[in-house]
């Protein structure tokens, strides 16, 4: 299992790096839409849809939505005079509402879940609210200040990846060593409050490094810490949200596409929450 995980990571990491750094924006949009489409295929499975044609149809639907958004909002108009396109900003705002609703669902689970647990269409609707804003967020960040510095947006993506991965590592080690109080045992028995705090603490090291690298004014460091902390906390919400849906579907992994890792969603579950929330905060208060 460990050997498979390492081999898969060694293949995927360079591909992701090349895509973020070197793909032209339009091809980057298509590549990210492809990943989101694969996640949609798995989401349909978590929604209790076992038939492959129906799962493929949902994947194509999500990919098509991303493609249509790409066609409606040209790469040159995603940002205009430092302002994100209104449609993309609206989608990110809608994502904030979705994750607030998801937080309530996770806290209350399994209470008040009967209306959606037995309804495949509602659960697939949750997938649209999760996956499409993730695409919008990644594209919005990648194209930020693109005409000034073509790699600035890539640095924002790496920043989010860095703080989320640091949080995952910190949460794992702190949770194993000191974890006592379960975060939501009905949803994910392995998650603890101590692990969450350890993850937030570990992510602050990345946030502090980024603040120094970009020479953030002392008066605005608190804003970076606040937004970074919110992003990390919400990333845990993305993980719990997927765990809740997998528990409802009675499956351990979202899929089998990535040997040693499970499915695509098993690798990006925390990012589906982190990217939209960070992007919304960035667009609203930092751009």
pLDDT (mean) for 12-28? 93
Beta bridge partners of 83: 80
pLDDT of residue 171: 84
Domain range enclosing 145: 2-286
Domains in the chain: how many in total?
1
Write out pLDDT tens, residues 173-202.
888 788 777 877 777 777 788 888 888 888
Question: Given a cut of 70, is residue 3 above it in pLDDT?
Answer: no
The pLDDT > 90 percentage for the chain reads 56
Note the pLDDT tens digit of each residue in 144-165.
Answer: 999 999 999 999 999 999 999 8
pLDDT of residue 55: 96
Q: How many percent of the chain have pLDDT more than 70?
A: 97
Would you say residue 92 has pLDDT above 60?
yes
pTM of the model: 0.93
pLDDT for position 260: 63
Weakest mean pLDDT among 48-52, 94-98, 133-137, 199-203? 199-203
Residue 85: what pLDDT? 96
pLDDT at 268: 92
């Amino acid at each position: 299992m460990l050997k498979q995980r390492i081999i898969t990571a060694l293949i995927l990491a360079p591909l992701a790096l090349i895509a973020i750094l070197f793909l032209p924006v339009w091809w980057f949009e298509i590549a990210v839409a492809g990943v989101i489409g694969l996640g949609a295929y798995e989401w349909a499975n978590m929604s209790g849809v076992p038939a492959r044609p129906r799962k493929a149809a949902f994947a194509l639907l999500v990919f098509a939505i991303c493609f249509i958004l790409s066609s409606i909002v040209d790469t040159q108009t995603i940002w205009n005079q430092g302002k994100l396109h209104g449609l993309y900003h609206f989608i990110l705002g809608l994502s904030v509402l979705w994750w607030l609703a998801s937080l309530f669902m996770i806290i209350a689970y399994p209470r008040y879940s009967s209306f959606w647990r037995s309804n495949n269409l509602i659960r697939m609707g949750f997938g649209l609210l999760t996956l499409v804003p993730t695409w919008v967020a990644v594209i919005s960040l990648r194209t930020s200040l693109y005409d000034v510095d073509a790699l600035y947006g890539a640095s924002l993506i790496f920043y989010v990846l860095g703080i989320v991965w640091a949080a995952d590592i910190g949460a794992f080690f702190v949770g194993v060593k000191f974890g006592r109080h379960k975060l939501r045992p009905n949803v994910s028995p392995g998650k603890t409050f101590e692990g969450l705090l350890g993850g937030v603490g570990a992510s602050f090291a990345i946030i502090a490094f980024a603040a120094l690298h970009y020479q953030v004014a002392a008066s605005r460091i608190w804003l970076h810490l606040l937004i970074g902390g919110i992003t990390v906390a919400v990333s845990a919400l993305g993980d719990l949200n997927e765990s809740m849906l997998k528990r409802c579907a009675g499956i351990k992994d979202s899929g089998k596409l990535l040997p040693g890792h499970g499915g695509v969603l098993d690798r990006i579950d925390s990012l589906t929450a982190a990217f939209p929330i960070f992007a919304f905060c960035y667009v609203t208060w930092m751009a």
